[in-house]
């Protein structure tokens, strides 16, 4: 049986412990399900650049620590793997990982209704009673079925409109207004988020 797509709240704020293989599978399902406001998806594959990482390593400049910028990183999985390959080679470095959508927010209206939105308030995922709903729903009947919940969460997100657009990434704590909670999150693989030498920035090169 295939796994259900995890919700953003489950993936980033859930309390359950997962082994690395389970986490990798959940992240792949999650990121592949997200539709961004520019029409793209955060789609990537693990270990797809291993050969390139090994090739580039032979041509790196000698100064240390290296300052590296990786652009259009999607979920950042390949960035983390590049960093790990440099670590194994004892190459000290600092990385900046940029992508079009990095700063995101989980808006919670109670415990049963949540939405994952970007800075503009664009809905990337709806969570209904712990279940993830793709945005936009692929089937017409589902678009009609979920329309009231989508409209409600769009209106709810407007409570934080200015705060979302001006968030500088330095305040990770949640905020609340009128019983609605907003939790900032870096929309990256946890492999990136747990490494202090990798800084994730929102940077649309297009």
pLDDT of 1 over the 60 cut: no
Residue 20 lies in a domain: no
Mean pLDDT of all residues belonging to the chain: 91
pLDDT at 68: 95
Q: Which domain holds residue 129?
A: 103-185
pLDDT of 92 over the 70 cut: yes
Q: CA-CA distance, 181 to 47, in Å (whole number)?
A: 36
Q: Are residues 162 and 112 in the same domain?
A: yes
Could you give the percent of the chain with pLDDT greater than 90?
75
pLDDT at 14: 86
Q: Are residues 95 and 127 in the same domain?
A: no
pLDDT at 206: 59
What does each C-alpha distance from 156 to 26, 122, 168, 194 come to in angstroms? 28, 12, 21, 30
| Residue in the block written with tokens 């704590």 | 173
Provide CB contacts within 8 A for 15, sequence distance 6+.
Answer: none
Residue 43 lies in a domain: no
Task: Say if residues 125 and 33 touch (Cβ distance below 8 Å).
Answer: yes
Q: Are residues 96 and 119 in the same domain?
A: no
Q: CA-CA distance, 91 to 29, in Å (whole number)?
A: 32
Residue 174 lies in a domain: yes
Residue 41 lies in a domain: no
pLDDT tens digits along 98-144:
999 999 999 999 999 999 999 999 999 999 999 999 999 989 999 99
């Amino acid at each position: 049986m295939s796994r259900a797509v995890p919700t953003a709240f489950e993936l980033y704020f859930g309390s359950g412990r997962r082994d690395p293989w389970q986490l990798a599978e959940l992240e792949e399902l999650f990121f592949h399900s997200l539709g961004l406001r520019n029409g793209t998806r955060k789609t990537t594959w693990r270990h797809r650049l291993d050969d390139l990482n090994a090739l580039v390593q032979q041509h790196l400049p000698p100064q240390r620590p290296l300052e590296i910028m990786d652009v259009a990183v999607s979920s950042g999985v390949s960035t983390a793997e590049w960093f790990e390959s440099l670590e194994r080679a004892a190459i000290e470095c600092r990385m900046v990982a940029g992508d079009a959508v990095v700063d995101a927010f989980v808006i919670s209206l109670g415990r049963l209704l949540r939405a994952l939105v970007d800075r503009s308030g664009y809905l990337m995922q709806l969570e209904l009673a712990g279940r993830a709903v793709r945005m936009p729903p692929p089937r017409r009947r589902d678009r009609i079925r979920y329309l009231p919940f989508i409209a409600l969460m769009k209106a709810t997100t407007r409570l934080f409109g200015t705060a979302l657009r001006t968030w500088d990434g330095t305040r990770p704590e949640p905020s609340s207004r009128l019983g609605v909670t907003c939790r900032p999150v870096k929309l990256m693989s946890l492999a990136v988020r747990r490494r202090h030498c990798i800084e994730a920035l929102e940077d649309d090169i297009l």
